[in-house]
Amino acid sequence: MPTVIVTGSGGLIGSETVAHFITAGFDVVGVENDMRARFFGPEGSTARTTQRLLDELPSFRSEDLDIRDADGVRRLFARHRTDLELVVHTAAQPSHDWAASDPHTDFGVNAVGTLNLLEAVRHVKPDATFVFTSTNKVYGDRPNGLPLEDTGERLELPADHRYFGGIDTSMSIDDCMHSIFGVSKAAADLMVQEYGRYFGIPTVCFRGGCLTGPSHAGAKLHGFLSYLMRCTVTGERYTVFGYDGKQVRDNIHSSDVVSAFEAFHRAPRPAAVYNLGGGRASNCSMREAIAACERIAGRRLEWELSPEARMGDHRWWISDLSQFERDYPDWRLRYDLETTLREIHDHNVEHWTAAAAR
């Protein structure tokens, strides 16, 4: 049976990947050490998701392993050398704010951890597909130079601008502020590309916008839509940072992300790079997201506006999906923003309400 190794298997995209590929007939091995609990506290823990996967998917195996442990990673890959077909690397330190508090750990997890995985693939199974969940933060704050207009509830590009349909990979990543997190992910992104070009490994960097879905353990420092919905449900006060709440994000459901992984694996090639998000079909401003959460939850969100934007944060981001759609024409987005938000609410409302009552 073909084997998939999934790092960060208890996280949003990792857990979706596990379930997807087991259903597709793969043997799936997860790598998870719940560092999110260290990053974000108990509310960010992946333990509940990992246990659910073990309970619901008897064939799933979860390895408690830190990807910064190069020898441990190499041994794990060697044990699965014969049948290893695919590595999906979703493990990360994912927060701008947390990265600035501990740059060594951030870079160790995001950059060095990725290098350890690439080295294991190169020496153990160099024809295995390597999928990396990168980020649009590799572009730094360069998108903030776009000529945005205030249209009331959101910032927007003029309809005749080259990026109106979404930002493609032609945007430079140089000469701009990235945040510490953005730099560590950019280092990993470039290394994944280099192992594709230099060693011929079939690699892909998916530079994600806001990846979301019902399994997202949203926390204050990470997990925009999930945390926003949680605050709406529980009455916890939410802070919007900068731009008068009119900053725009595109949002893609975890299921659509993982189906892109599978599409690439069916026809992989070295050093591929794609921007991947909700595109023009699924995006919103902070103000629009708040209104949607209030409508779905049936209650008002208590929120405040901080005039200080996060360093390196984007005023506007919508991904251009056309490059991936051209290369993989069978892939399409299946979830819109409304459906995604309702899933997040319905899947978590009971747990969030009970936790808030304790």
Rounded CA separation 37/55 (Å): 21
End-to-end CA distance of the chain: 45
Count of alpha carbons within 13 Å of 274, Cβ hemisphere only? 27
Q: Any bridge partners for residue 29, and if so which? A: 5, 61
Rounded CA separation 196/94 (Å): 24
Report which of 355, 48, 335 is spatially closest to residue 230, judged by C-alpha positions. 355
Q: Count of CB atoms within 10 A of residue 353's CB?
A: 12
Pairing of strands 155-156, 149-150: antiparallel
- Determine the structural domain holding residue 57 and report its residue range: 3-357
Q: Count of CB atoms within 10 A of residue 30's CB?
A: 28
Amino acid letter for position 337: L
For residue 65, the domain's CATH number is 3.40.50.720
DSSP 27: E
pLDDT at residue 222, rounded to an integer = 63
pLDDT at residue 221, rounded to an integer = 58
The mean pLDDT value of the chain amounts to: 95
Q: Count of CB atoms within 10 A of residue 305's CB?
A: 14
pLDDT at residue 358, rounded to an integer = 74
pLDDT at residue 31, rounded to an integer = 98
pLDDT at residue 215, rounded to an integer = 82
- Kindly state the tokens that stand for 85: 């077909």
CA of 16: how far to CAs of 32, 40, 153, 259, 271, in Å? Answer: 14, 21, 32, 10, 24
Q: What angle do the packed helices 337-357 and 286-297 form, to 10 degrees?
A: 60
Q: Any bridge partners for residue 61, and if so which? A: 29
Q: Give average pLDDT by consecutive 10-residue segment, the chain, 358 residues.
A: 97 96 98 90 86 95 98 98 98 91 97 98 98 97 97 98 98 95 97 98 96 81 83 96 96 97 98 98 97 98 93 93 98 97 95 85
Rounded CA separation 107/350 (Å): 36
pTM of the model: 0.95
Amino acid letter for position 68: R
Domain tally, the chain: 1
CA dihedral 261, 262, 265, 270 (to 10 degrees): -20
